Amino acid sequence: MLSDIDICRTAPLQSIQAIAEKAGLQPSEYQSQGRHKAKVSLQSVKRLQHAQTGKLVVITAITPTPLGEGKTVTTIALAQGMQKLSRSVMACIRQPSMGPIFGVKGGAAGGGYSQVAPMDQLNLHLTGDIHAVTAAHNLAAAAIDARLYHEERLGYADFEHRSGLKALRIDNQQVTWKRVMDHNDRALRMITVGQNESGKTINGFERHDGFDISAASELMAILALAQDLQDLRKRIGQIVVAYTLDGEPVTTEDLQVAGAMTVCMKDAIEPTLMQTLEGVPTLIHSGPFANIAHGNSSIIADNIATKLADYTITEGGFGSDMGFEKACNIKAQVSGKSPDCAVIVATLRGLKANSGLYDLRPGQAIPDTLIQPDSQALIAGFTNLKWHIDNVNQYGIPAVVAINRFPQDTDEEIQQLIELIHALPNKVDVALSEGFAKGGQGTLDLAQKVIAQCESSAISTFTPLYKLTDTLEDKLSAVAIKGYGASRINLSEQAQQQLLRLTEQGFANLAVCLAKTPLSITTDSQVKGAPKDFIVDIRELKLCAGAGFIYALCGNVMTMPGLPEKPAFMSLDIDENGEIVGLS
Amino acid sequence: MLSDIDICRTAPLQSIQAIAEKAGLQPSEYQSQGRHKAKVSLQSVKRLQHAQTGKLVVITAITPTPLGEGKTVTTIALAQGMQKLSRSVMACIRQPSMGPIFGVKGGAAGGGYSQVAPMDQLNLHLTGDIHAVTAAHNLAAAAIDARLYHEERLGYADFEHRSGLKALRIDNQQVTWKRVMDHNDRALRMITVGQNESGKTINGFERHDGFDISAASELMAILALAQDLQDLRKRIGQIVVAYTLDGEPVTTEDLQVAGAMTVCMKDAIEPTLMQTLEGVPTLIHSGPFANIAHGNSSIIADNIATKLADYTITEGGFGSDMGFEKACNIKAQVSGKSPDCAVIVATLRGLKANSGLYDLRPGQAIPDTLIQPDSQALIAGFTNLKWHIDNVNQYGIPAVVAINRFPQDTDEEIQQLIELIHALPNKVDVALSEGFAKGGQGTLDLAQKVIAQCESSAISTFTPLYKLTDTLEDKLSAVAIKGYGASRINLSEQAQQQLLRLTEQGFANLAVCLAKTPLSITTDSQVKGAPKDFIVDIRELKLCAGAGFIYALCGNVMTMPGLPEKPAFMSLDIDENGEIVGLS
């Protein structure tokens, strides 16, 4: 089989005008960005506000291995399959971060014959949205350090006299807004800024700081949750970036930088239209993490797609305990639009990894034995799939299992998995997903089953796990107990104090976002399968007042990846014709 | 008069397709980026390689005040004036950096009725070239720190065994490649990276580092000097980023990151086509500083424009001792295309500031008295204009003086200046430049005089100040003595050692780029007018092997600006219609 970039390069792509027309956009509602990308105006949603809203299908997965189970490829393949069944369909995916592309995993455009194309344009820069997030984020960081510097240098009274501004009296030990960069740059995790040569203070005041990767910016979560430009402006102004010496929150509005940040992100609010290899119109928009943020592509993209198409296929990061939980409890509670059907992607490899019979460690290669047939491991790991089916169903959402088939998977083992699923008490549909090798043709059965579930779910029975009006502690417990199956949460002393302070300061009505390992349903990446009676330890709470949630750190969550010994960038280059080589 | 953004917003702009067609581009030679921008393919130059090359006019200035003398407005106004005279004309300008836009000076799109439009798109992100430079630059920085980390963590032998790569043995005290960001962020000038919590070394090895603003990246200079994508690739691979423990240069090629950096900048190599308010096709490309780099827009943009148009108007940063000197000695020696005429922009305010009769300090407001008529100060400051005319002429290039008129300038004082110019022994043309208030109509006289000079200079008499084969010391002396009028250079001990080492390592054939204050012809910003018999102290030499020059630090040159007490971003916002307000 050809490499991803070679498949993509030789595919006969349509002009973006043709794709936009096919999607139902009017010429005034999009602006082409070269031949194969377009920015889509939010005017399209306004025009279609009275049109019927299409079905929303969310692709989720079993508890994944670090290699992933193939959600993006299934998302694109399913959309292509639906198109082959003559349905009106669009896909909505997140924008890939460049850090991991240069670091370890290569591109994130799907793969094989189920890709968004051109994949190099999707993976590199796209239409600049992540750069805009980075720029707006770091503008606020520069504003904070400049204010600290001038207020401390001049003294508060002199500062006020000279600038005509009110001194903010920011506590330089309580700046919560770090800087961001779209690279895997380990050395920037913990830094000291504002250093000076002996005795001078011309470079600001020295303090500890650090960089996160841009996808971890609260602005990325805000971009994914905003309803329109004015809502973006409002949310940006609500971001708390620091605390004063009196412990009061300091917002970007206080710094008078929220307007400029919004200006910086004015184009980023428009989703980017592209196409799959089979010409399905696809919107790419935002890319929040699925641990410290909600891990789903944007509400704006969904709003456009569900008005234009009968079926919108999108995905949430990691397993159904992660991105899908947040799609239901965070995203749907903001958008008012809940998923009509969930597709749970499972692989033989991933289920066997969930058996607990293999020694798997994050950052290490998956053992070869895992791709050998192993009936016992499959049965043991199957408990994990069953858990995810039950989890999806508890939200009142029907589930279809998609078995993402790899070339080395045997017919016997696939058949064994299908029989295990058929034997479940709650009748659940299952279909193969062979989109990587066959494109939409490889998901016709899956597409039919998803359509059937969507058509049968005319009356929404959607039930989120909590109401926003519940207390913060109740909301955290709801996710841990109902969402993960834990027995209870355990707040550290620090988290308890933070919970009190956040409640006092009026943030109790926000959603909660648990940041934990995706490699287990529990907070311990070594615990596989479908564990019970575990405790969710919450170390620290972090406020994202602009995004509208408080995230809870359960264990260590890495917000700035590092480069491995032999990074992926080493194989990237241009050839003698100026074409990109080495991107996969 | 309306504000810049209001003039721009109410101007009837043409579609970018119409502008491209007017410029003579074929539909396959550009890709629209929205309605008013397009990326121009280098295929256009190939198609036109046998066409006649048009005239190249470089706009330069007297020794400027920190407010600038209006070179960009004159560049655009002159292009508009030529168009009114029915000449085939294009303008080529640099992409504005966002740092200063948010910091102090607002936009950099010209002003009044001589702007590149839409000015908000020019000033913010444009087509992402600066972001691409930033990303490529910081990828190399992450690669360096990751390599340091893995080699030191594992030991060289184990590193080589595990990775299959040869250990580079980079000296962590001799990393010369900093990081960059397109913001005015003082606190990032001096930082410490790779810090760890007690005892661990998971975040890399601690070392001193810092950020420059993105325009100061060597990649920006490379982008401006590259001839095509393959040349860009070659130059990127030649960048020296560090030295080994044995003192040998380490390049991006050694790090195997040069290919990925080029991939990152693949779209950035195409200039962006826009239009002036009067519809003159304008190419925007690159934005190198005019002190530590050569301060002119790109060779590629010039190559395209001079093949498409009879007249190409471009500008070099600061006065003729700075950007224009580097246009002649660095840029023209690479491109093979020397300027056919130079326009020296002068203002009454700027000439009086050059009298030495006012107390002007960098970073402080210009005194009100400077805009009052002052015949004595004008005569004293006029020596500076005379110096710049002689300077331009010594390159064999004819000069025309453009008096950029401000509303408060009196007729009497303007007349006095014109008479001073007419009284010069070498007959030099002078014309008013009233493009800010009148657009192209305000530069008809100037345009006619520039055209006359270009037509009379059929045979090039261009003479750069040095040959690349001269020794480094001779090249530095040539710029200081012939280019500035100094009596000699004085190399610090450090610079002498660096000069020896650079010569030994085979870099003696590079061009030289003197980095000094733009506010004086000397290296002391307080010395005004046309000083003589001064010494140029050179503190340090820095290698830009990819860009192809060695820059010499003469005094302090700021490569990361700071934000003032009340930054420009405070007035930026979106209004209820989602339009940008507060950008000027």
This prediction's pTM: 0.97
Binding residues of B for ATP: 65-72
How large is the angle between the packed helices A229-237 and A218-225, nearest 10 degrees?
A: 150
Whether B567 sits inside 8 A of A146 (CB atoms) is yes
Judging by DSSP bridges, how do beta strands B240-244 and B249-251 pair with one another? antiparallel
How large is the angle between the packed helices A444-456 and A71-84, nearest 10 degrees?
A: 80
Q: Report the residue from B150, B204, B573 with minimal CB separation from A565.
A: B150
Amino acid letter, B488: R
Which residue does chain A place closest to B191, by CA atoms?
A193
**Cα–Cα dist B461/B153, whole Å:** 59
pLDDT at B556: 84
Judging by DSSP bridges, how do beta strands A89-93 and A281-284 pair with one another? parallel
pLDDT at B464: 96
Condensed to tens digits (0 to 9), the pLDDT of residues B562-583 reads 999 999 999 999 999 999 998 8
Preceding peptide of B64 cis, ω within 30°: no
> Tokens 């004086």 identify what position?
B520
The pLDDT of residue B409 is above 80: yes
Classify residue B169 as left (phi > 0), alpha (psi -120 to 50) or beta. left
| Burial (Cβ within 10 Å: 0-12, 13-18, ≥19) of residue A49 | exposed
pLDDT at B106: 64
Whether A139 sits inside 8 A of B569 (CB atoms) is yes
Beta bridge partners of B117: B275
> For residue A59, what are its two tokens?
């692709």
Preceding peptide of B362 cis, ω within 30°: no
Half-sphere exposure of B9 (CA within 13 A, CB side): 12
**A563: which chain B residues are within 8 Å (Cβ-Cβ)?**
142-143, 146
Whether A186 sits inside 8 A of B267 (CB atoms) is no
Binding residues of A: 65-72
The pLDDT of residue B456 is above 90: no
Which residue does chain B place closest to A269, by CA atoms?
B578
> Is the Cβ–Cβ distance between A272 and A122 less than 8 Å?
no
Whether A102 sits inside 8 A of B139 (CB atoms) is yes
Q: Report the residue from A128, A163, A185 with minimal CB separation from B566.
A: A163
pLDDT at A1: 77
> For residue B124, what are its two tokens?
């913010």
Chains A and B form CB pairs within 8 A to the count of 247
Whether A203 sits inside 8 A of B186 (CB atoms) is yes
**Cα–Cα dist B545/A290, whole Å:** 43
> For residue B41, what are its two tokens?
């393919």
**Cα–Cα dist A377/A468, whole Å:** 41
**Cα–Cα dist A402/A389, whole Å:** 12
Condensed to tens digits (0 to 9), the pLDDT of residues B96-109 reads 999 989 998 667 78
Residue of B43, B134, B193, B270 to mutate when probing chain A, most A C-beta within 10 A:
B193
**Cα–Cα dist B425/B390, whole Å:** 11
Number of neighbouring beta carbons within 10 Å of residue B118: 23
Amino acid letter, A122: L
- A402 by DSSP, 3-state: which? strand
> Is the Cβ–Cβ distance between A316 and A323 less than 8 Å?
yes
Condensed to tens digits (0 to 9), the pLDDT of residues B59-105 reads 999 999 988 899 999 999 999 999 999 999 999 999 999 998 999 86
List the alpha helices (DSSP H) in A407-492: 411-422, 435-438, 444-456, 472-478, 484
pLDDT at A106: 64
Binding residues of B: 65-72
Calculate the average pLDDT of chain B.
Answer: 95
Under the banding of pLDDT at 50, 70 and 90, the label for residue B555 is: confident
Residue of A17, A97, A193 to mutate when probing chain B, most B C-beta within 10 A:
A193
Region B536-541: mean pLDDT is 96
**Cα–Cα dist B325/B481, whole Å:** 12
Which residue does chain B place closest to A131, by CA atoms?
B131
- A429 by DSSP, 3-state: which? strand
Whole-angstrom distance between the N-terminal and C-terminal Cα of chain A?
13
Half-sphere exposure of A400 (CA within 13 A, CB side): 30
CA B534 from chain centre, in angstroms, equals 26
Condensed to tens digits (0 to 9), the pLDDT of residues B255-272 reads 999 999 999 999 999 999
- A437: Cβ–Cβ under 8 A, 6 or more apart, which residues? A1, A112, A113, A407
Element of type H or E holding A110? strand A110-111
The pLDDT of residue B451 is above 70: yes
Closest-CA distance, A308 to chain B, in angstroms, reads 22
Whether B190 sits inside 8 A of A197 (CB atoms) is yes
Whether A149 sits inside 8 A of B31 (CB atoms) is no
pLDDT at A42: 96
Whether B31 sits inside 8 A of A34 (CB atoms) is yes
> For residue A572, what are its two tokens?
């990237």
Kindly state the DSSP code that residue A168 receives in the 8-state scheme. Answer: -
pLDDT at A427: 87
Q: Report the residue from B146, B562, B576 with minimal CB separation from A146.
A: B562
pLDDT at A584: 77
Which residue does chain A place closest to B184, by CA atoms?
A142
Give, in order, the Cα–Cα distances in Å from B249 to each of A402, A448, B150, B191, B254: 53, 61, 20, 24, 9
How large is the angle between the packed helices B375-394 and B411-422, nearest 10 degrees?
A: 40
**Cα–Cα dist B404/B347, whole Å:** 5
Whether B576 sits inside 8 A of A230 (CB atoms) is yes
Judging by DSSP bridges, how do beta strands A549-553 and A511-515 pair with one another? parallel
B317-354 burial, b for 16+ CB within 10 Å, e for fewer?
bbbbbbbbbbbbbbbbbbbebbbbbbbbbbbbbbbbbb
Which residue does chain B place closest to A99, by CA atoms?
B139
- At residue A272, φ and ψ (nearest 5 deg) are -100, 125
- At residue A337, φ and ψ (nearest 5 deg) are -120, 110
Q: Report the residue from B98, B266, B573 with minimal CB separation from A574.
A: B266
Kindly state the DSSP code that residue B568 receives in the 8-state scheme. Answer: G
Closest-CA distance, B220 to chain A, in angstroms, reads 17
pLDDT at B544: 98
Q: Report the residue from A125, A188, A562 with minimal CB separation from B128.
A: A125
Counting as low any pLDDT under 50, the low residues of chain A are none
**Cα–Cα dist B312/B285, whole Å:** 14
**B268: which chain A residues are within 8 Å (Cβ-Cβ)?**
none
**B258: which chain A residues are within 8 Å (Cβ-Cβ)?**
573
pLDDT at B237: 98
Whether A574 sits inside 8 A of B165 (CB atoms) is no
Number of neighbouring beta carbons within 10 Å of residue A126: 21
Select from B90, B63, B94 the least CA-distant residue to B78. Answer: B90
- B484 by DSSP, 3-state: which? helix
Condensed to tens digits (0 to 9), the pLDDT of residues B457-505 reads 656 789 999 999 999 999 999 999 999 999 999 999 999 999 999 999 9
Which residue does chain A place closest to B138, by CA atoms?
A183
Region B297-320: mean pLDDT is 97
pLDDT at B362: 63
ipTM field: 0.96
Element of type H or E holding B473? helix B472-477
**B214: which chain A residues are within 8 Å (Cβ-Cβ)?**
none
Q: Report the residue from A132, A186, A580 with minimal CB separation from B146.
A: A186
**Cα–Cα dist A32/A14, whole Å:** 13
How large is the angle between the packed helices B444-456 and B71-84, nearest 10 degrees?
A: 80
Written as one string, the DSSP assignment of B153-169 is HH-HHHHHHHHSS----
- Give the dihedral of Cα atoms A507, A513, A517, A523; nearest 10 deg: 70
